[in-house]
Structure formats: structure tokens, C-alpha cells
């Protein structure tokens, strides 16, 4: 079996680099709005699962609340150990008998103060069990959608996909449309993006190819989302706009608590509760 330790370290270094670049850009946007808001970083350690000895790995939760970003979290974690035996069978390449895993990744969710600015989610990760694979994606979640913003966001992701696989965009867009859906509401969470998982690394060449694609997704997100924020953050909005935003956020919370696989994975693997649930909006309403 391949030892993926050095590959995990390389992926972790990239995710930390991407976090730093994103946080610097978001803080720059706050300065443009006349705000001195900055990210606060809280380190955490993974807790033992099913009687494991000690702690293995952890992460850093970055959180900012400002004039433009009402609440934005950017988390990087690198953890390893054993999956809970009743959960292991649901993870690619794991079982109750072979439940060892490692994972490193970045996860970002931004909830915006102005309802005209879209909320957004982005996550990329590298995991190993008896197999090794990359997963991730990004999706746009506007309370008040603009066709121009949706098209620009998808165009950036399409360009990242097209450079690495002729069918990637169509496949991963369709996967996002299927995944980011709230069955009990019969609505999508937002206007989509891409979602991919289990890009398996059968050998070194596959690992390099999938790692390059994963970096491209992160770079595309960093290039396009700040443009959308700057385009909309100064627009006037009404109490009705804010009410629509808060109701939409309720749908977002429902998806993340009921259906999101990343939330379940974090809770089942000894992750930090605050980091896992940072995706929840600061305010929401239900009618």
C-alpha cells in the first residue's frame, strides 16, 4: 500500500497557502468598505474516537465578522486516526475492520451583510483510507440572484475544469445540481457550481493530476468571488431584501444540518464542533 504521508503534507501546505491568500483578499475588501475587521484564528486538536489513544492532528478555524462579510469562516484541518466503526462503511475504502484514515482540506463559507452579495461555499480535500482521493468544489448561494454573477462564477469554474478534463465541468456541475438540493423543500440550495469526489489516486501520475485540478479550483474561486463581492457590496437594499435573505439562510441551514456529508464526516471523526458548524449563518428566519 502506498504511503501517502508526504502527499498529505504537500496538500496541507497548499490548503494553508490558499487560506492565507483568501483571508488577505477578504480583509482587503473590508478595508475598502472602511472596516478594520480581521480574521481571528483558533487552533484546535482532534478528539479521540471510539476509545482511540490520544489526539491525532487538528486544524485552525479562521473567523471574521465585518461590514461586508457578516460571517465568514475559513478552516484548514489535517487529521488522522480511526473512523467510528458504525460510520466507516460509508467512507470510500474504509470498513469496520479497516477504519484508519487521514484527511486534509480547506473549507470556506461566507455569509454576506448585503443581500445583493451572494453567499458562497468552497471546499477541497485529500483523503486516504485503503484508497486515496481528492474531492471538493464550490457553489454560489445568492439570496437575490443576478444572472451576470451566476454566469461569471460558472465560467471561472468551467475554465478550471476544461484545463484538466474535457468532461469535468458537465459532470461536476451536474453532480453539484444533484447534491446541493433540499428534497423536503424541493429547491436547490443556490445557483450551483461544481462538486466532485473520489478522484482516486491509483499512482503518482494520477495524484499529481488530481492535485493540479484541485489547486485550479481554489485559484478559480479566489479569482472570481471577490469580483462579485465588490460588484454588489455597495448596493442599497430594503427591509424586504433582508427578510428574503434571512429566510433563504434558513434553507441553507437546513441543508447543512440534514444533508451535508462534510458536516457528518466532521462530527463523526472527532472534529472541532465550532469549525464544523461555522457554515451556519449568524441569523436566519423560518416563516
Query: Contact 249/283 with Cβ under 8 angstroms?
Result: yes
Around 97, how many Cα atoms within 13 Å sit in the side-chain half-sphere? 0
pLDDT of residue 53: 54
pLDDT of residue 55: 56
pLDDT of residue 268: 80
All three cell numbers of 171, joined, read 459532470
Q: Burial, 41: exposed, middle or buried (Cβ in 10 Å; 0-12, 13-18, 19+)?
A: middle
pLDDT of residue 51: 61
pLDDT of residue 275: 86
pLDDT of residue 28: 98
**pTM, two decimal places:** 0.93
- The reply to whether CATH 3.30.70.120 applies to domain 5-30+59-279 is no
pLDDT of residue 49: 67
pLDDT of residue 286: 95
What residues are labeled active site? Answer: 121
All three cell numbers of 211, joined, read 492535485
pLDDT of residue 95: 72
pLDDT of residue 169: 98
Instruction: Find how far residue 203's CA is from the centre of its chain.
Output: 26
Query: Contact 142/192 with Cβ under 8 angstroms?
Result: no
User: How many residues would you count in the chain?
Assistant: 287
- What is the mean pLDDT for each group of 10 consecutive residues in the chain (287 residues)? 89 98 98 98 82 73 97 95 77 74 95 98 95 96 98 98 98 97 96 97 96 98 98 98 97 95 83 88 94
Count CB-CB contacts under 10 A for residue 163: 12
Query: Contact 162/168 with Cβ under 8 angstroms?
Result: yes
Task: Give the chain's count of helices (H) and strands (E).
Answer: 8, 9
Amino acid at each position: 500500500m502506498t504511503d501517502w504521508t508526504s502527499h498529505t503534507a504537500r496538500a496541507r501546505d497548499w490548503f494553508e497557502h490558499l487560506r492565507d491568500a483568501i483571508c488577505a483578499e477578504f480583509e482587503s475588501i473590508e478595508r475598502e468598505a472602511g472596516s478594520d475587521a480581521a480574521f481571528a484564528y483558533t487552533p484546535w486538536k482532534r478528539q479521540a474516537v471510539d476509545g482511540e489513544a490520544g489526539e491525532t492532528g487538528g486544524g485552525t478555524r479562521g473567523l471574521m465578522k465585518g461590514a461586508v462579510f457578516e460571517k465568514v469562516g475559513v478552516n484548514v484541518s489535517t487529521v488522522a486516526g480511526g473512523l467510528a466503526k458504525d460510520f466507516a462503511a460509508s467512507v470510500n475504502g474504509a470498513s469496520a475492520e479497516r477504519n484508519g484514515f487521514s484527511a486534509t482540506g480547506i473549507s470556506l463559507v461566507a455569509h454576506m451583510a448585503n443581500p445583493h452579495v451572494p453567499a458562497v461555499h468552497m471546499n477541497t480535500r485529500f483523503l486516504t483510507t485503503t484508497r486515496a482521493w481528492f474531492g471538493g468544489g464550490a457553489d454560489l448561494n445568492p439570496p437575490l440572484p443576478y444572472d451576470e454573477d451566476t454566469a461569471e462564477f460558472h465560467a471561472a469554474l468551467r475554465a478550471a475544469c476544461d484545463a484538466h478534463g474535457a468532461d469535468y465541468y458537465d459532470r461536476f456541475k451536474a453532480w453539484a445540481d444533484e447534491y446541493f438540493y433540499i428534497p423536503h423543500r424541493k429547491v436547490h440550495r443556490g445557483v450551483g457550481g461544481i462538486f466532485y469526489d473520489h478522484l482516486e489516486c491509483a499512482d503518482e501520475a494520477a495524484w499529481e493530476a488530481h492535485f493540479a485540478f484541485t489547486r485550479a479550483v481554489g485559484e478559480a474561486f479566489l479569482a472570481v468571488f471577490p469580483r462579485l463581492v465588490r460588484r454588489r457590496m455597495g448596493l442599497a437594499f430594503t427591509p424586504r431584501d433582508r427578510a428574503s435573505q434571512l429566510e433563504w439562510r434558513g434553507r441553507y441551514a437546513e441543508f447543512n444540518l440534514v444533508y451535508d456529508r462534510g458536516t457528518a464526516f466532521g462530527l463523526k471523526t472527532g472534529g472541532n464542533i465550532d469549525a464544523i458548524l461555522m457554515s451556519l449563518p449568524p441569523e436566519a428566519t423560518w416563516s
